[in-house]
Amino acid sequence: MTNKEQPLNDDGSRVVNKKQRLYLSYMIASLLYLTIINFFDEYWDWVSINSFSISVLVAIVLVVGLAFFIKVESKTAAYFKSKTGVMPKILRGITSYIVLVGGKFLIMGIIAVAFGGLVKFSGPWS
């Protein structure tokens, strides 16, 4: 086994590249969502997940889906930010709201379809 020297910054800390940062952020987000999903499954009757393995997959779908919709929102916001006037600012707020909130509902629908009866989101209107 070879012991490769890792590049260091001037202050002695290790250099972290973009792929490592991306991996770390997705891993932390997945673990955070996994914890939250399992708390909801454990303590709230409106969320029911069949197994821990399914909740891991649900957390991954949530992380990837939310990252996608945040990227879409930033692209639409950049488009409206380049325009001048009041109307583009209003449209920027409306489209940001639609993309982010609508994206969350779409992700919940994707989870419901992909996992069928293994994941159930219920509530007063279900």
Give the model's confidence band at 91: pLDDT under 50 very low, under 70 low, under 90 confident, else very high.
very high
CA dist 28 to 11, 14, 18, 33, Å? Answer: 26, 20, 15, 9
For 2-107, strand residue ranges (E) read 47-49
pLDDT tens-digit profile of 52-75?
A: 999 999 999 999 999 999 999 999
pLDDT of residue 124: 80
The domains of the chain are located at 18-121
pTM of the model: 0.80
